Amino acid sequence: SVSSVSIATDACERMEPPLVQSRAPEAKGGKKTNPAADPRKMRRIIAEDPEWNLETVAPLVDACINHIVAEFHNYPRLEELDPRHRRQVLDRLPTTLPLRVTAPRVSDEGYWERCCRGRWELCDITDYGHSWKRMFFERNAQEAIENFVPEQSDTKQLEETLALSGPFVRRLVVRQLLPPPRDRPLSPQDDEEGERLSDESPLKPCNDHLDCGTILSRLHQLEELQLSYGVQNCGMNFEWSLFEFTLADCQLLSRAVQATPTLRVLRLPRSKVDNERGRLLISRLLDHPSLTTLDLSHNKLGDGAGRALGKLLNGHAPSLICLDASSNSIGETGGVSLGHALQGNSTLRELNLRMNRLGDEGAQPLLKALLRNSTLTSLNLASNDIGEPSAPALSEMLVANSSLTSINLACNKFGEAGGRLIQEGVEENSTLVTFDLRLTEISQESEYCINQIVKSNLDRQKS
């Protein structure tokens, strides 16, 4: 009713003080006082807004930094900022920005560390020159290449990724290269038929991989390249065609390597490189200006490739220091060619021919060549079916050679008589500090004496 509303209004007026006083009270001495000075006489009004709070407004600098971060993909600005503000922007930049934006502009290691740790669980920068940015681009390029499927993946996207990575990639390790997809999965009958087809058969499907020229032509700073033509973790989908290094692959790789003068290390292990492809590849490496390490281990190289390697070492590898051709099928002829080349070679420091088929006829030319060679420091001829007939040449070489510091002849068959000849040679040698003669059928007495002499050489060099 009207009377009840009037009574409530009068009660409120009596309980609440007036919002505005008609006259400010005067303090002693005639000075006026501010009503706000006494909180008991002021009425606080809080708006009924759920988003209203008592926090202060953020500084304008923070608002500008947040805006720069939010619009960085459209308007990247770093150099124009004050160093303190640039640091704040870098700390807030998201790691999902496109590489075309961040690659040429962001050099801060802290940002690239966040990118690496957000993408990979294990991050060790010791293999990447202790650089987070280099690690990110090398691993990013590696994944892009390993997951590329010819005739199916976007080639332009791969080319863009490699072009952006070019200034930062020094070392590239590719553990798999995928072949083109098949129109339909192979049945057991198809698989058996494929094994019977020769390499030249027109019925055999094309298994050419990614053109290595696409990779090397865009990585202008590349110094080390490791490729494996095969597929990892194929499981029950295993086919021999997944591990095929085709002739076209070899031609493309050879031309690409020849056109990359900055390349210092080339590794091509476990790629089924045979004589024909090996000769073609090595012919393109002749007189390469900067190649220091060549690794062709765990392939199918034979005497033909051995002769090609001999030609490479015979004055056509001005910078080659390390050659690894272990776990192949190089025999006597290849050993003779390599021995002839070593006589005049003055650059090679390490030669690994472990697990080949040299035999005595292939090993003896190598050992005789070391009578004149004074630069080789490490030789590995383990598991080469070398026997007692080679012991005299080995003993003579140990007496005359003063550059070798490490020799591995394990898993050969020298016998007790050969062991005594080797011991006589080691007794006249003062530079050998590592000599592996395990499982060579020499006597325990000869093996003990040889080990003691080698140990004394090592102690002498340490002191």
Give residue 45's pLDDT band: very low, low, confident or very high (50, 70, 90).
low
CA distance 143 to 302: 33
pLDDT, tens digit, for every residue of 100-157? 999 999 999 999 999 999 999 999 999 999 999 999 999 999 999 999 999 999 999 9
pLDDT, tens digit, for every residue of 292-313? 999 999 999 999 999 999 999 9
**Pair of tokens at residue 388:** 């007692």
In this model, does residue 166 exceed pLDDT 70?
yes
379-394: average pLDDT: 96
**Pair of tokens at residue 255:** 């031309």
Q: Which residue has the higher pLDDT, 236 or 424?
A: 424
CA distance 206 to 150: 11
Give residue 33's pLDDT band: very low, low, confident or very high (50, 70, 90).
low
Q: At what angle do helices 132-146 and 109-119 cross, to 10 degrees?
A: 40
Q: Which residue has the higher pLDDT, 16 or 166?
A: 166
Q: Is the dihedral of CA 341, 346, 347, 348 positive or negative?
A: positive
In this model, does residue 251 exceed pLDDT 70?
yes
Q: Is the dihedral of CA 376, 380, 384, 386 positive or negative?
A: positive
Cα angle for residues 170, 176, 177 (degrees, 5° grid): 95
In this model, does residue 342 exceed pLDDT 70?
yes
In this model, does residue 220 exceed pLDDT 80?
yes
In this model, does residue 278 exceed pLDDT 60?
yes
In this model, does residue 93 exceed pLDDT 60?
yes
Average pLDDT value for the chain: 87
Q: Which residue has the higher pLDDT, 36 or 90?
A: 90
pLDDT of residue 241: 83
pLDDT of residue 53: 67
pLDDT of residue 47: 58
In this model, does residue 27 exceed pLDDT 70?
no
pTM, to two decimals: 0.82
Say if CB 362 and CB 332 are below 8 A apart.
yes
pLDDT of residue 58: 76
In this model, does residue 419 exceed pLDDT 90?
yes
In this model, does residue 15 exceed pLDDT 50?
no
- pLDDT above 90 covers what percent of the chain? 74
Say if CB 408 and CB 433 are below 8 A apart.
no
